[in-house]
Amino acid sequence: MKPGWAVNSRVFGKHAGYERQEMAAAFCIAGPGIEHGYFDAARTVDITPTILKLLGESPDPRNFDGKPIPEVVD
């Protein structure tokens, strides 16, 4: 999609557009036992399995397209 065009007619140039710079989103998490760190990229489908793993759950891989982000849960 050309710059200046939009999927949503009221908002353009925001997250979830078709341009490369619109496909990135920050994922910040903090809490007891979570060390400071940074990783370059992860898929959005990995967020829910990551949070479940941090909460002590064992997400069944058959229920998710993603998997826990190793840089966060290890």
Q: What is the residue extent of each domain of the chain?
A: 25-73
Residue 8 pairs with which residues in a beta bridge? 11
Report yes or no: 50 and 31 within 8 Å, Cβ to Cβ.
no
Average pLDDT over residues 51-62: 88
Residue with token string 């998710």: 64
- Separation in Å, CA 50 to CA 5, 7, 19, 41: 34, 29, 26, 14
Residue % of the chain over a pLDDT of 70? 66
Q: Is 8 helix (H, G, I), strand (E, B) or coil?
A: strand
pTM of the prediction? Answer: 0.60
